[in-house]
A and B are shown apart, each in its own frame.
Chain A
Amino acid sequence: MPLEDVAVGQILVKQSYLSEEELQNALLEAKENKQSLINVLSGQGLITPSLIQGALAEHYKLEFYDLQTNPPSTEELASLPEAIARKYFVIVVEKKENSVKIATTDPQQENLEEVIRVNLGKEEAVFPEEESTEKKKEKKGEEEEKKSEEPKKEKGKEEKPKSKEKEVKEKKKAGGGFFGLGRKKAEAEGFKGKITYVFASKEGIEAMFLRYRKPLATRFQQIVDAEKEVAPEILVEIINDAIQLRASDIHFEPQGDKFTIVRFRVDGVMHEAGRIPKIYYEGVVNLIKIEANMRIDEHFAPQDGAGDELL
């Protein structure tokens, strides 16, 4: 889950992207004007989204992964169920036989590694069981006991501060194993290869969620199979999808003799939306040309046209 603004502000100070004084001033301004802290810092010209991502990646000691220049394939993305990806803000960006690379906004989430191991390659999401009320009470009691013991510790025997990595490991160890199908079974069935985490921006990951939609091809495949008027129906499906996904452009990319890839640009990022078999592509293009008052016998020169009654 993405961090709150104030936590991001503290990380920016810790990583020397911002001074403490600048953060305090911005917090005051944000409170006075009821604005988000990040908006105030951006307005003051102190920070940009890419600097924030850099600071967070530094904080988590992870490599920054640019989803815009290296988007994962549809297969890689689909190797984690959508519900898991959305809940934990994680996506698979690279998958090999024995290793997987996961982009996330927060690698320190409780149970994250187990959730990924159990869910990799699954179609249906498996979530950790919610802790029962009794367990929660027990845990709370233990925590309070620990707190009351802390002041008793002698000053001279102060424990060394735990490293961040160690803390995360312990957190995972303590919190893990709440899966409904039983921890042992979950472990036995789960992915056993190496998991590497990389940091990606919240916006980049959100843009990837759009690709979890069923590919366009699966919808128009039914039309193709029915052998009806293929071109108009495919085109209408493509345009409907583009409108629904708030795409700014539709790109047709012919791939030799096999098929044509249809891509949508959504929030500035190109996404594969589906594939049209080559035998139907010509019909789709001709239909667009007719509707836009272009010559259908011109295949080599660029043409410019417009139409407003396609639907």
Chain B
Amino acid sequence: MPEVRVGGLRKEYGKVLALNGVNLTVNDGEYLSIVGPSGCGKTTLIKSIAGVVKPDAGDILIDGNRVTPLPIEERGVGYVFQEIALFPHMNVYDNVSYGLMVRGVPQTDRRGPVEEMLHMMVLEDYVSLYPKELSGGARQKTAISRALTSGSTLLLLDEPLGALDLKVRTVLRYELRKLVKDLGLTAIHVTHDQEEALSISDRVVVMKAGRIVEVGSPMQLYLRPKEIFTAKFLGEANFMIGEASNANGGSPLFYVSGSSLSAGINCEFSPNNGETCVIAIRPEFIDLTSKAGNVNSWACEIVSASFVGDSIRYEVRTENGVLLLVKTPIAGGESSLVIGDKAYATLPEGNLLLYRLPEEGLEKALSLE
């Protein structure tokens, strides 16, 4: 049940700064995911912790021991990565027992832990099969089993489900969390799939351009992101630029393209009168109704509608020309609005996210690079 601490980690590849001073503590027994756009440094970070990449500066501590100079085999970590690396000439059983074998554990003593692991991963029926005879899901389960039988209690997962079909991926992610919790492991999991990160993690780390942008519980990051980039990267959000008015008394009011928007009392900072701010709202929090609501209800027209199964995604244009993305959950295939329909888009006060206008400008702050 290890704790991991990373301090001042830097890594350069030529001119590219993959890690630009990363500090992070992963608690004992925690399931932590790292997300971010391609090239943000998430893979370099987990590879540094694993000992596959040597950082230029900074330190890595596992359970208080400085492991920075140690190679991967001396760090006591289980490392699983996307390109499934099973030995093709070994069956499932031999692949899983490999870690114990190279550590010199005699064959009779290997049987117990290997069989326990195969049982836990529901791989008993596959023991004598070779990797090429397995489905992608079973292959990756074998790889995870192999990483764990060696006795590691720190599991490093580098896009472990990335090569699998969507359906298998969704099933396996819940199994993965259950396994980590049942065994009392610490897991660090890098993924490009934000739903995967949100659904199975205790905390999520959002990275951009070699730095950590924000760390928090999935709900914190999704519902009340402190950083504008988190709001952009996790889930979807509408971003509007508005000017604060009468900001000194009561709840702040904003003007967005001439329409007023009351921000309620949830506001995390008090904008100055006349200050330009960014107001964001997730598309699933906007209500589309035929009658105007009491607060923050804008007349609009449906510009596009697309059915995505459990929801309909609308693009609407308000009478003042603001284009909004709206996601309406549907159950059982209810009737929906069509292009050209008039409606009211209501933006509930409590779901508005407010940010100061970033110094580098909104576009730069939201960009993925």
A is bound by B: no
- Which of B's residues lie within 8 Å of A, judged by CB? none
